[in-house]
Amino acid sequence: MNCIIIDDEMTARAIINGLCAQVKNLNVVAEFSNAIQAIKYLNQNDVDLIFLDIYMPDFTGFDFIQTIKNPPKVILTTSDDQSAIEAFEYDCIVDYLVKPLSIQRFEKSVKKAESSIFRTIEEKPKTLRNKIEGTNTVNDLYINIERRLIKINIPSIYLVEAKGDYINVKTETENYRVHSTLKKIEEKLPENLFLKIHRSFVINVKKIIDIEDNTVLIKKEVIPISRSNRPELMKRLNLL
């Protein structure tokens, strides 16, 4: 899990960083002495977990949570033991740690966050599937070719490639050349199956055969992965 630390005290940040280093699969990607800096960072980057102090100058931890749209999971780290009831009014808060922090309590809190994140991931495909079924589109996509509407089974699509004013939609049985944009078809494809890995390519992640360096192999096609899209692809894979 990628996490960030937000605390106005340097010593507190160092202690939390040290505890994170003792927990397997927990990676601190950034630290912040105030919430405003963290908000700017989160506007450009995704994280799984935030260790957040409550009382900081000018901007409290609760102010921070209210400011962030769709906040990630949060573990509060504070010297105040009186705000727990208020804290659990926020769905994103998974635990409330009172300083000084012990490694045993810290590890238990991280496991709780990990379980909460896993449940959220499990629920996303169900939510998406329900939304699709509600609009009666299920697994079908219709494309317009020479005034004909051709139905394509969405899971059969393994690659969509942008070529100027056209896109090539490649399926298990047929390839289609459509006058459209990559962005437009990307909006029509379910997020749990498809991912844009390059400005010219959207792939079906279930069809990946191999990944080497900055390319993926699907069918017999080697497709580049852009540096900016690689982290999201790595997050989507079930890595051992």
- Quote the radius of gyration of the chain (alpha carbons, Å): 22
69 CB-contact burial (10 Å; exposed 0-12 / middle 13-18 / buried 19+): exposed
Sign of the dihedral through C-alpha 124, 126, 127, 133: positive
CB 216 within 8 A of CB 188: no
Report pLDDT digits (tens) over 182-225: 988 988 898 888 999 999 999 999 999 999 888 999 988 999 99
Distance CA 237, CA 240 (A): 9
Which domains does the chain show, CATH number per domain? 2-131 (3.40.50.2300), 141-236 (2.40.50.1020)
Report pLDDT digits (tens) over 5-46: 999 999 999 999 999 999 988 999 999 999 989 998 998 898
The yes-or-no verdict on residue 129 having pLDDT over 70 is: no
74 CB-contact burial (10 Å; exposed 0-12 / middle 13-18 / buried 19+): buried
Residues 6+ apart with CB under 8 A from 237: 205, 211
Give, as one character, the DSSP assignment of residue 205: G
Give, as one character, the DSSP assignment of residue 101: P
Distance CA 111, CA 201 (A): 36
Q: Which amino acid is at 162?
A: A
On the CB side of 164, how many CA atoms lie within 13 Å of its CA? 3
Distance CA 206, CA 102 (A): 41
Distance CA 154, CA 189 (A): 7
Report pLDDT digits (tens) over 71-97: 899 999 998 888 888 887 888 999 999
Q: What is the pTM of this model?
A: 0.52
Instruction: Assign 138 a pLDDT band (cuts: 50, 70, 90).
Output: low
Nearest of 76, 26, 31 to residue 51 by alpha carbon:
76
